[in-house]
Structure 1
Amino acid sequence: MDRFSFLGSVHIGFIDDLYQKYLKDPDSIEPSWRAFFQGYDFSKEMYGDDPVGTVDQQALEDVRREFLVLDLIQGYRTRGHLFTETNPVRSRRKYEPTLDIENFGLEKDDLDREFQAGTEVGLEGPATLRTIVQHLQNMYCRSIGVEYMYIRKPEVTSWIKQWLHQNENSTIFSKQEKMRILHKLNEAVSFEAFLNTKFVGQKRFSIEGAESLIPALDFAIEYAADQGVEEFVMGMAHRGRLNVLSNIFGKPRKQIFSEFEGKAFVEDEFDGDVKYHLGYSTIKHLKGKDVKLNLSPNPSHLEAVDPVVEGISRAKINNDYEGDSSKVMPILIHGDAAVAAQGVVYEVVQMETLNGYGTGGTLHIVINNQVGFTTNYLDARSSTYCTDIAKVILAPVLHVNGDDPEALVHAIRFATEYRQKFNKDVFIDLLCYRKYGHNEGDEPRFTQPLLYKEISKHPNPREIYSKKLEESNDLDDSALSEMESEFKAMLEEDFDESKKIERNFITPFMDDEWKEFRQSKPEDFHVSPKTGVEEEELKTIAETITTLPSDLKFIKKITRLFKDRHNQVFERNSLDWGMGELMAYGSLIMEGFNVRISGEDVARGTFSHRHAIVKVEDSEQEVCRLNEIPGREGRFAIYNSLLSEYAVLGFDYGYAMASPKTLTVWEAQFGDFANGAQIIIDQFLSAAEDKWKVQNGLVLLLPHGYEGQGAEHSSARLERFLQLCAQYNMQVVNITTPGNFFHALRRQMHRPFRKPLVVMSPKSLLRHPKAVSSLEEMTGGQFEEVIVDSPNEDSRIEKIVFCSGKLYYDLLAERESREDKTTAIVRLEQLYPLPQKQIDEVLNRFSGAKKKIWAQEEPANMGAWTFILWYFPERLELFSPAASASPAAGSSKTALARHREIVESVFNA
């Protein structure tokens, strides 16, 4: 086989051009050409610069065979991971062609010949082909398979190659380190065995089959700490979580045992959650320094915690470590079926280097059980590996045999060093098995009879590793027995102590960040706190944010817009929605709070109303006037997000969870886009405080309003949020004035507690001539939960129309056109918590009114009606479009006709 016979007819200039490219960037050219030039360089070293014609035929053949060996090396680097010994309980799938030397044009007679190509894999000087092959087998085809040759940066692939050359891709552990690995394996195995004995039949989602994860995490924390990491933020689903909590985080085992008893929680006002969903924060003492560990609470949605962990990590990087991402390491522990199938994983990895979402790289560890709930991996994905998502961001992947804890710890060392050096994601695919079914009461043989027949006979990693240590004389039987008996005695003692616990308590999570805040009380919601700002301060803010730098050129529309905003404050005293919003942000950063906004196209605003960042016309330089306010103590940041709702909302939720002194805002491009993030809304936003005793002040801006824009661009599904409301878990508002929006945003930061705020944000009101506010509305007062608009003396009011949102302005226009003096329009600016006190005052004020109406622009089965029907203190008559399967008509004319019908019917009633 002559792979280079084509060279005879190739133009010499073309070859020279390729060679010059090869010298600058070897990875920029096609692999066979790269191999050729590598061989050419070797031949120059061996034979000098003599023309080909002066070299004898044997020399030419030697050079050709050097090329073949280089091709073999390339084959191991690119495909060696397909021929590894990484599966502890299954035979590997067969792949063709194999890495046999014959498939590369080499023969058995070549095995004892020496080749200069040996230096390419870290060998010193010429080496026999037999040595080279053995070296490649040890590096790429034993307990670790490595994928990295798709990475496009030569400095990265070069670093990885050199790293793998060390000890043939293995670590030489000291006896002390080996005993530490065994010790952590013993903890992992014994803990599960103890639970299985004491709590028979209870769900615990054991780590059994993947026990090597425990020593791996133990070493990961130490390795990363040695490289400068001071805090870890970890997310994982339920598989192995209790073991990680006990043996890595040090959560008291007596508390875990008590949770198995199902006792009530100390805090009666909280429902709590199952034990394998709870979070935990602690401090670990390592080599004279303290390292913080955080395990984020999470629901059963297996990968939903991923963006939350990234958001928490980014908040800590910004707030605690002055933006130094090397100090905080996110660790995400996935399941094989979930990492391959859950779309949020793709959304999260796409955040890796984005300006608003990057965290300096994440360590991903996949507990690869080779089965989902009951589904075989062949039915769970089309990709070769569950980790193939890593290739999207060109992250290296190490596939590791879970029965070889030393190999896994070695892989962890690579991962931590890679992350710290390149600030990029890295994946470890831990090939293991699940000893039982999905839970300990499940029967896996229903669907996996052959696999579980093999698993039932398979020794656990502790047994395998202890036998290895015995054979190498690093361990004797008595040492292991003593280790087992000591740990079991501690477990028994903790179990006895757990019986003395009368009630469980919800484990604290990130207490340090929340020590200045308290839990809310019902009376906190009777009236909003004062949130006015001094007029002089407002004018200072306004002057700065409405004045563009004179030495920069902007498009004319921007210049006019900023001039108009200046006039709103200093000439007309009439601020529109965008100006009111920016004034709120400016006032908060003046007071030392931070503001973070993210979402699709938020910097400008979907409806071109915000313009928090403007670009210079001739350079696209970004200008943010909010950060130029003199005397500000906080910072303002706004980021256009990737086209994601699920992951971005999860990220911002996590950011708010770790940053209570930051006003964190997520804006949907249209309100219904929140549908894509429903898991975060259901599992975190609405329920986290009740489940995990975790507060959050995240603000959701969801454009909502019926302007004839069709089904998808009308409704933010107000009804869904109201259905989730209970126990003062969040606030839902539908605001009609810039001044009230100003106070709503400021209220978020001026309470001694935090609650999510869901805003049915306007579209048409952004430029409605009557949706304006004066400076006086911002200098005094507070958020108004209820606003009354009465055209006459209270005693002359015959009809009260309660409504919410933009419908008010349509009702107002109709009342004015009819010159109606007997109808009062009452706006519920806040729907939850329903302002009962203020509503009662309105009903008492207009006690003579004979007709009381609820009007809404949403269909009867949507909007606030069912909530109002349930909670309103008096029965109201409904005026709305008929119940509908779709939120709104696709025809703008039909939508307008329906809307007019509602408005007119309110006044005809």
Structure 2
Amino acid sequence: MDRFSFLGSVHIGFIDDLYEKYLKDPDSIEPSWRSFFQGYDFSREVYGDDPMGAVDSQALDDVRREFLVLDLIQGYRSRGHLFTETNPVRARRKYSPTLDIQNFGLEEADMDREFMAATEVGLPGPAKLSVIVKHLQNMYCRSIGVEYMYIRNPEVTNWVKSWLHQNENSTVFNQDEKVRILHKLNEAVAFESFLNTKFVGQKRFSIEGAESLIPAMEFTIDYAAQGGVEEFVVGMAHRGRLNVLSNIFGKPRKQIFSEFEGKAFVEDEFDGDVKYHLGYSTTKQLAGHEVKLNLAPNPSHLEAVDPVVEGIARAKINNDYNGDQSKVMPILIHGDAAVAAQGVVYEVIQMEGLSGYATGGTLHIVINNQVGFTTNYLDARSSTYCTDIAKVILAPVLHVNGDDPEALVHAMRFAVEYRQKFNKDVFIDLLCYRKYGHNEGDEPRFTQPLLYKEISRHPNPREIYSKKLMEFHDLQESVLTEMEKEFKAMLEEDFDESKKIEKNFITPFMESDWSEYRQSVPEDFELSPETGLKVETLKKIAETITTLPNDLKFINKIKRLFKDRNAQVFERNSLDWGMGELMAYGSLIVEGFNVRISGEDVERGTFSHRHAIVKVEDSEQRVCRLDEIPGREGRFAIYNSLLSEYAVLGFDYGYAMASPKTLTIWEAQFGDFANGAQIIIDQFLAAAEDKWKVQNGLVMLLPHGYEGQGAEHSSARLERFLQLCAQYNMQVANITTPANFYHALRRQMHRPFRKPLVVMSPKSLLRHPKVVSSLEEFSSGRFQEVIDDTQIDAKKAEKVVFVSGKLYYDLLAEREERNDETTALVRLEQLYPLPEKQIKDVLAKYAHIDKKIWAQEEPANMGAWTHILWRFPERLELCAPAASAAPAAGSSKTAHARHRQLIESVFNA
């Protein structure tokens, strides 16, 4: 096989040009040409400056074989991972062609020949092919398989190559380190064995089969701390979680044992969650310094925690470490079936290099059980590896045999150093197995009888490693026996102590970050706090944010927009929605709070109402006038997101979780699209405080309103949010004035606790001539949960209509058209918590009226009606479009006809 026979017919000038390109950038030319020129350079060192000239046929053959050895090296680098010893319980799938030298045009006789190509793999000088092959086998085909040759940055690939050359891609551990690895393996194995004995049949989703993760995590924290990391944010599902909590995070084992007993929680109104969903935060003392560890709480939705972890990490980087990404390390521990199949993983890794979401690289560890619930890996994905998603962002992947803890610790060292150097993601694929079924009560032999026959007789990683250490005289059996005895005695003592615990107590996640805040009480929601700001201060803010720099060129529409905004404040005293929103942000950053907004197209706003960022016409330079407010103490940040709802909402939820002094906002392009993030809404936003005792002040802005734009651009599914409301878990509002929106946003930060706020955000009201507020409405007062009708005489009213959001202005226009002075329109600005006291005050004013109506533009089976029917102090009649399967009509004419019918039904009722 002569892969370079084509050279005889190639024009010499073409080769010269190609060689010049190779010298400037080797990766810019086709790989076979690159191999040719590499061999050419090697041959020049051996045979002089004219290896292709007047030399005998043997010399030409020597040059050709140098090329073939380089090709062999390239083969190991790009395909060596397919021929590894990484699977502890299954034979590897067969791939062809293999890495046999014959497949590269070499012969058995070449094994004793020396080649200069040896220097390419870190060997000194020429070496025999047999030595080169053995060296390549050790680096690429033993307990670690490495994928990285798809990376397009030569600096990165060269660094990886150089790193792998060290000790043939292995770490030489001293005896103390080996004993430490064994000690953590012993803790992992003994902990699971103890639970299996004391709590027979209970679900614990054990780590058994993947125990090597425990020493690997221990060493990872050490390596990272030595590299400057001061805080870790970890996300993982339930597999092995209790073991990680106990043996890495140091959660008291007596507390874990008590949770197994199923005791009630200290706070009766607090529901809590199953033990393998809970989060935990702690500090760990290392040599000479302290690191912080956070394990984020996570539901059974396996990968839902991924974006939350990234958001937490980003908040900590910004707030605690002055933007230094090297100080905080996110670690995500995946399952093989989940990482391959859950779309949120793709959404999250696409954040790696984005300015609004980057966290300096994430360490991904996949506990590859080779089975998902009961599904064989061949049915779980189409890709070769579960980690093939890593190639999307050109992240290196190390596939590691879970029975070789030293190899895994070594791989983790690579991952830490790579992340710290390049601030990019890196993946570790830990090939292992699951000793039991999906949980300890499951029967895996139903679906994998052959695999579990092998697993049943397979020794655990502690047994394998201790045997290896004893064989090499690194360990005496008595040391292992004593180690096991001591740890078991500690477990028994903790078990006895757990019996003394009467009720379980959940330590709030990241408790130190929330030390200034308290839990809310029902009385907090009876009246909002005062949130006005002096007129003089508001005018200073307005002066800055409505004035463009004179030395920059902007399109005429932007200049007119800013001129009009200035006039709203200083000429007309009539601020619209966009101006009111920006005044809220400006006022908060003046007071020292931070503001973060993200979502699709938020810088401009989907409906071109915000323009928080404007672009210079001839350079596209970003201009943010909020950044220029004199004396501001807080930060303002706004980011157009990737086209994702699930991951971005999760990220911003995580950011708010770790940053209570930041007003964190996620805006949907249209409110309907929030259903793409339903898992975050259900599992985190609505339930986290009740499950995990975690507060959060995230604001969701969901454009909502029936304006004839069809079923996908009308409804933010208000009914779904209201159905999730209970125990004061969040706030749901449908606001009608700029000033009230301003006060709602400021209220988020001026309370001594945090609650999510879901806003049915307007569309047509953004530019409605009646949707304006005076400066005095911003400078005084508070958020109004209920806005009574002040335009008619209550004594003359014969009908009172309770309404929310945009429909109010439609009804108001109809009332004016009819000259109706008997229909009162009362706006319910906050739907949950329902302001019952204020509603009762309004009802008392209209006590003489029998006709009381709830009007909504959503179909009768949607919107707030069911919520109102259940919670409202008095019985109301309903005026709404008929129940419907779709939120709105696709035809604009039909939609407008239905809306007209609704309005008439209100006034004719």
TM-score range, shorter chain: over 0.9
Superposition map of 1:502-521 within 5 A: 502-521=502-521
Alignment partner of 1:683: what SS?
A: helix
Matched AA of 2:741: F
Whole-Å separation in 1 of the counterparts to 2:274 and 2:29: 55
Matched AA of 1:131: V
Matched AA of 1:778: F
- Is this contact kept in 2: 1:790–1:825, CA < 8 A? no
**1:77 corresponds to:** 77
Whole-Å separation in 1 of the counterparts to 2:717 and 2:14: 62
Whole-Å separation in 1 of the counterparts to 2:191 and 2:51: 71
**1:113 corresponds to:** 113
> C-alpha deviations, 1:834-879, integer Å up to 9, x for none?
0000100111001111200000000000000010011111111100
Whole-Å separation in 1 of the counterparts to 2:354 and 2:670: 23
- Is this contact kept in 2: 1:283–1:291, CA < 8 A? yes
Whole-Å separation in 2 of the counterparts to 1:268 and 1:11: 85
Mapped pair 1:302 → 2:270: no
**1:34 corresponds to:** 34
**2:670 corresponds to:** 670
> 1:11: how far off?
2.1
**1:446 corresponds to:** 446
Whole-Å separation in 1 of the counterparts to 2:628 and 2:885: 49
> 1:793: how far off?
2.4
Matched AA of 2:241: R
**1:316 corresponds to:** 316
**2:188 corresponds to:** 188
Whole-Å separation in 2 of the counterparts to 1:13 and 1:568: 71
> 1:442: how far off?
0.2
Whole-Å separation in 2 of the counterparts to 1:406 and 1:382: 31
> 1:790: how far off?
4.2
> 1:17: how far off?
2.1
Whole-Å separation in 1 of the counterparts to 2:694 and 2:241: 19
Superposition map of 1:758-769 within 5 A: 758-769=758-769
Matched AA of 1:749: M
> 1:476: how far off?
1.0
Matched AA of 1:407: A
**1:603 corresponds to:** 603
> Is there any run of 5+ residues in structure 1 with no aligned partner, and where?
none
**2:574 corresponds to:** 574
Alignment partner of 1:789: what SS?
A: coil
**1:25 corresponds to:** 25
Q: CA RMSD in A?
A: 0.6
**2:649 corresponds to:** 649
> Is there any run of 5+ residues in structure 2 with no aligned partner, and where?
none
Tell me the matched-pair count: 909
Choose 324-333 or 781-790, whichever is displaced more: 781-790
The two structures have a TM-score, normalised by structure 2, of 1.00
> 1:51: how far off?
6.1
Whole-Å separation in 2 of the counterparts to 1:508 and 1:706: 41
**1:847 corresponds to:** 847
Alignment partner of 2:235: what SS?
A: strand
Whole-Å separation in 1 of the counterparts to 2:896 and 2:35: 69
> C-alpha deviations, 1:305-352, integer Å up to 9, x for none?
000000000000000000000000000000000000000000000000
Superposition map of 1:234-633 within 5 A: 234-633=234-633
> 1:28: how far off?
2.0
- Is this contact kept in 2: 1:234–1:294, CA < 8 A? yes
**2:734 corresponds to:** 734
> 1:20: how far off?
1.7
Whole-Å separation in 2 of the counterparts to 1:514 and 1:792: 47
- Is this contact kept in 2: 1:84–1:142, CA < 8 A? yes
Whole-Å separation in 2 of the counterparts to 1:571 and 1:791: 25
**1:4 corresponds to:** 4
Whole-Å separation in 2 of the counterparts to 1:695 and 1:233: 17
- Is this contact kept in 1: 2:368–2:433, CA < 8 A? yes
Alignment partner of 2:375: what SS?
A: coil
Superposition map of 1:200-219 within 5 A: 200-219=200-219
Whole-Å separation in 2 of the counterparts to 1:17 and 1:610: 54
**2:171 corresponds to:** 171
> 1:611: how far off?
0.1
**2:125 corresponds to:** 125
Matched AA of 1:148: Y
Matched AA of 2:219: F
Alignment partner of 2:787: what SS?
A: strand
- Is this contact kept in 2: 1:278–1:507, CA < 8 A? no
> 1:12: how far off?
2.1
Whole-Å separation in 1 of the counterparts to 2:580 and 2:790: 25
Matched AA of 1:644: S
Mapped pair 1:95 → 2:95: yes
Alignment partner of 2:399: what SS?
A: strand
Alignment partner of 1:831: what SS?
A: strand
Whole-Å separation in 2 of the counterparts to 1:11 and 1:766: 68
> 1:599: how far off?
0.1
Matched AA of 1:425: D
Whole-Å separation in 1 of the counterparts to 2:197 and 2:631: 63
Matched AA of 2:331: I
Matched-pair identity in %: 85
Matched AA of 2:330: P
Whole-Å separation in 2 of the counterparts to 1:26 and 1:214: 41
Find runs of 4+ consecutive structure 1 residues off by over 6 angstroms. none
> 1:450: how far off?
0.1
Alignment partner of 2:372: what SS?
A: coil
> C-alpha deviations, 1:805-824, integer Å up to 9, x for none?
00000000010111111111
> 1:268: how far off?
1.2
- Is this contact kept in 2: 1:791–1:822, CA < 8 A? no
**1:154 corresponds to:** 154
> 1:509: how far off?
1.0
> C-alpha deviations, 1:604-652, integer Å up to 9, x for none?
0000000000000000000000010000000100000000000000000
Matched AA of 1:772: V
Matched AA of 1:177: E
Whole-Å separation in 2 of the counterparts to 1:446 and 1:792: 73
Whole-Å separation in 2 of the counterparts to 1:572 and 1:466: 81
Alignment partner of 1:664: what SS?
A: strand
Whole-Å separation in 2 of the counterparts to 1:858 and 1:763: 15
> 1:267: how far off?
1.1
Alignment partner of 1:111: what SS?
A: helix
Choose 52-61 or 533-542, whichever is displaced more: 52-61
Whole-Å separation in 2 of the counterparts to 1:53 and 1:315: 64
**2:43 corresponds to:** 43
